[in-house]
Amino acid sequence: MSPKTPTIKLIDINQLRPGMYVQDVNCSWMDHPFVTNHFMINDAQRVNEIKALGVHELYIDTAKGLDIEGLAMSQDDIRQDVDARMAQIAQEIQTEPQRVDLAQEVERARQLHGEANRIVRSLIQDVRLGKQVELEQVEPVVEGMIDSVFRNQDALLPLARLKDHDNYTFQHSVSVCALLVSFARGLKLERPIIKEIAIGGLLHDVGKAKVPDDILNKPAKLTEAEFAKMKSHVVQSIVILQNTPGISQIALDVAGQHHERFDGTGYPNQLKGEQISLYGRMGAIVDVYDAITSDRVYHKGMAPTAALGRLLEWSKYHFDPELVRAYVKCVGIYPSGSLVRLESGRLGVVLEQHEEKMMQPKVRVIFHAEHKHYLPPEVIDLAWPGSKEKISGHEEFEEWNIDPKRWLG
């Protein structure tokens, strides 16, 4: 029996034409107005809409639409390349920092996470009422989050996965803050700078208070006017924060540049490469990572490992490639809170990273994939010399009807 010919192919945007079926626009859902990533190209107008977004390459499904002439890389080819790059990153030796025991930090992290969500909710409500942002409200919880990440980031970061549709905007802001602290620490930035980056992360979407909820949560394609209104939240954030006493340029860079793209296709100022500050480039990576791993009314989040793979792929154009590599090192190939499959067929939730052995985290085994039933929870350290288990791949909680809140919260 001959091998099946791949139907999903990566093509250059200039090869796109009516009659093709787009399988994946190949950019974050935040960067396009379509309700889904896959659709038929019915006319030249849709081709031009996609080109106007700054898309360089995208995936088509030749089983559902027209093919291209000549050769093209398949989706499987791209995934194999990304997997090889992830494995290479995992081999790069890092020094594991001192950390407190995870169990000691978990409860403090939960309290901090809840407090941060309450503060950002209150802050956004105040902005909607025309009130000024007060940094005095924000700074104590930011300091607390930095302390927690420095003690053991594997306590706070998994909580970034826990969001609900109604509260997404401020839960996303809290997650971006925590992830940026971890990223900045991994880059060995100084603590005062990390604090300003974290403040920028917590406040990066404050301008969404000025965008109507029916646009923020619209479960359909945004009109051109609605997409423009959605994108205006960045300028609104800049205006709000420039009028905030005590705000730093670093925090403004995070908020004002997190939708800029390394190739100059972002907004609001189409900054390119080094024109975007380090903090803006970091914010762009973290903002997209958290967004594409989160469930929305109109968008199903992907597994963290898959999201890191997409960031690596998109770093060809949209993100600083070296910073993306650094971010993968920072959160791990299988980030804490991920669901993974072991070679034995059991599923486990990643509890804790070993920076010097990124493919061998500590996991809590909870489920048997082949027998489809829960197991008595068992903690296994895959880096332990006597461990015979290995990770064979990542999974999604939803696919196995496992409630992540039960294991992450």
Q: Sorting pLDDT into bands at 50, 70 and 90, what band is 169?
A: confident
Work out the average pLDDT over 223-235: 94
How many residues make up the chain in this entry?
Answer: 409
- The domain boundary, picked from 331, 357, 390, lies at 331
Does a structural domain hold residue 225?
yes
In a domain, residue 92? The reply is: no
What pLDDT was estimated at residue 2? 40
Instruction: Round to whole Å and give the CA distance between 191 and 340.
Output: 33
* 21 in the same domain as 107: no
C-alpha distances (whole Å) from 306 to each of 13, 51, 171, 301 are 23, 25, 21, 10
Q: Which of 21, 56, 73 is at the close of a domain?
A: 73
User: Residues 60, 115: one domain?
Assistant: no
Q: What is the pLDDT of residues 70-87, one digit of tens each?
A: 889 999 999 999 999 988
Farthest-apart Cα atoms in the chain, separation: 70
Residues 120 and 219 in one domain: yes
Q: Are residues 152 and 251 in the same domain?
A: yes
CA distance 344 to 347: 9
Check whether 93 has a pLDDT greater than 60.
Answer: yes
- Residue 261 included in any domain: yes
Per residue in 175-190, pLDDT (tens digit) is 999 999 999 999 999 9
Structure tokens at 362: 């500590």
Q: Is residue 316 part of a domain?
A: yes
pLDDT band at 96 (very low <50, low <70, confident <90, very high): low
pLDDT band (50, 70, 90) for residue 128: very high
> Do 159 and 409 form a contact (C-beta atoms < 8 A)?
yes
User: What is the chain's mean pLDDT, rounded?
Assistant: 92
Mean pLDDT of all residues in 153-165:
90
Residue 92: its pLDDT value, please?
A: 81
Question: CA-CA distance, 109 to 156, in Å (whole number)?
Answer: 5
Q: How far apart are CA 347 and CA 393, in angstroms?
A: 10
Whether the predicted pLDDT of 246 surpasses 50? yes
Q: Does 327 lie in the same domain as 187? A: yes
Please tell me the number of Cα atoms within 13 Å of 81 on its side-chain side: 11
My answer on whether 394 and 279 are in the same domain is no
Assess contact for 227 and 307: CB atoms under 8 A: no
What is the pLDDT confidence band of residue 1, given thresholds at 50, 70 and 90?
Answer: very low
Query: Under DSSP, is residue 61 helix (H, G, I), strand (E, B) or coil?
Result: strand
Q: pLDDT > 90: what percent of the chain?
A: 80
Region 145-160: what's the mean pLDDT? 95
Q: Does 34 score more than 90 pLDDT?
A: no
Residue 243 sits in the same domain as residue 303: yes
Q: Is the Cα torsion angle 346, 348, 353, 359 positive or negative in sign? A: positive
Residue range 217-234: mean pLDDT, rounded: 91
Residues 107 and 226 placed together within one structural domain of the fold? yes
Clarify whether residues 179 and 273 are in a common domain. yes
Work out the pLDDT band at 342, boundaries 50, 70, 90: very high
- Give the CATH number, domain containing residue 319: 1.10.3210.10
Let me know if residue 226 belongs to a domain: yes
Contact 290, 160 (CB under 8 A): yes
Domain count of the fold of the chain: 3
Average pLDDT over residues 307-321: 96
Predicted confidence band of residue 36 (pLDDT cuts 50, 70, 90): confident
Q: Where are the alpha helices (DSSP H) in 187-260?
A: 191-203, 213-216, 224-231, 233-242, 249-257
Judge if 225 and 288 occupy the same domain.
yes
Cβ pair 226, 117 in contact under 8 A: no
CA distance 176 to 198: 8
Is the pLDDT assigned to residue 5 strictly greater than 80? no
Identify the domain containing residue 154 by its residue range.
102-331
Predicted local confidence at residue 346, as pLDDT:
97
pLDDT given at position 162: 87
Higher pLDDT, residue 215 or 95: 215
Q: Report the chain's terminal Cα–Cα distance, integer Å.
A: 48
The answer to whether residue 94 scores a pLDDT higher than 80 is no
Q: Which residue, chain included where needed, has tokens 């930090």?
A: 105
Q: Nearest to residue 202, comparing CAs of 109, 267, 265, 122?
A: 122
- What per-residue confidence (pLDDT) applies to 325? 96
pLDDT for residue 164: 81
2 belongs to a structural domain: no
Cα–Cα distance for residue pair 47/29, rounded to 1 Å: 17
- Residue 49 corresponds to which tokens in the numbers above? 């809409």
Give the pLDDT confidence of 347-385 residue by residue, as tens digits: 999 999 988 888 999 999 999 999 999 999 999 999 998
Q: Do 313 and 343 share a domain, yes or no? A: no
Both 13 and 146 in one domain: the answer is: no
Whether 285 contacts 323, CB under 8 Å: yes
> From CA 179, how far away is CA 152, in angstroms rounded?
13
Q: What is the mean pLDDT of residues 31-45?
A: 90
pLDDT at 33: 86
* Range in 98-102, 134-138, 276-280 with the lowest mean pLDDT: 98-102
* Residue 97 is assigned to a structural domain of this protein: no
